[in-house]
Amino acid sequence: MPKSPALDSFPLGDRRVRRLGYGAMQLAGPGVFGPPKDHAEALAVLRAVVAAGVNHIDTSDYYGPHVTNRLIREALAPYPDDLVLVTKLGAQRGADGSWNPAFSAEALTQGVHDNLRHLGLERIEVVNLRSMFGHHGPAEGSIEAPLTVLAELQQQGLIGHIGLSNVTATQIAQGRSICPIVCVQNQYNLVHRHDDALIDQLAADGIAYVPFFPLGGFNPLQSARLDAVAQRLEATPMQVALAWLLYRSPNVLLIPGTSSRAHLAQNLAVANLDLDEDTIAELDAIGRQ
């Protein structure tokens, strides 16, 4: 039986991170807006994440806005030497909670400084530029201008490495012609498989792939076949879906999020879930239904 790859690591820029990370988005209030419903629990979750050996946390200053970054600093600073914090730029929140594109040089520069200030850092290890051309997924459009701004901030020493989010293969190629790209963060899960070929290409090039909505996001995965596999393995369907992602390719880094320690423990337990070749093939077939 193949050994679970959950404890394996993969390069993220010039650092190596364990493949099972944590996404901080759910620490903010409903709609990723406003403060957490339980401030103390949010801090406890973050501390439990690091105590479990997770060394890759995904965040953004537009979560809240500013909420998750301030929580991360309160809970974890001074940060462990091996902890890699990854943030995103390309959006701003309206007073009504709306998500608005923020691609101007001024907005991106301010975004970097806001992240630095709220996280208490002098340099952000990885900054992802999130494309906002499509409302429900990647859509074509030039990313040259905003990415050039980030590349200049990188040269100033404010950014360690640059990644891309919600992008097409064409945009990734354009981005790599401007600066090194260390990761791509797109929607991908057991049933949303549009990036299959892209994942394999990025793996060949040593670039990390970070799926968001690994459990289906606002529409959780539902499959009778997944339920049957989970029952057989004495696991939850969501644990099996996460484990499948780890087996999908060695460059896949997971950032499942939660605002409760109990749910965090369930996510981290994926490290103990082994999938044999027949089970992996059975799960693969779900995406082809």
Question: What are the residue numbers of the active site?
Answer: 63
Q: What's 136's DSSP letter?
A: S
User: Which token pair is 96?
Assistant: 């009504």
Instruction: Please give the helix or strand (H or E) that residue 267 lies within, else none.
Output: helix 261-268
Q: Token pair for residue 106?
A: 């001024």
DSSP letter string, 139-204: -----HHHHHHHHHHHHTTSEEEEEEES--HHHHHHHHHHS-EEEEE-B--SS--TTHHHHHHHHH
CA distance 128 to 150: 9
Host H or E run for residue 228: helix 224-233
Q: Is the separation of the CB atoms in 264 and 45 below 8 Å?
A: yes
> Residue 59 has what DSSP assignment?
-
Handedness of CA 131, 133, 138, 142 (dihedral sign): negative
Residue 91, CA atoms < 13 Å, CB-side half-sphere: 24
Please say whether the dihedral angle defined by the alpha carbons of residues 195, 226, 212 and 271, taken in this order, is positive or negative: negative
What does the alpha-carbon distance between residue 143 and residue 164 come to, in Å, rounded to a whole number? 10
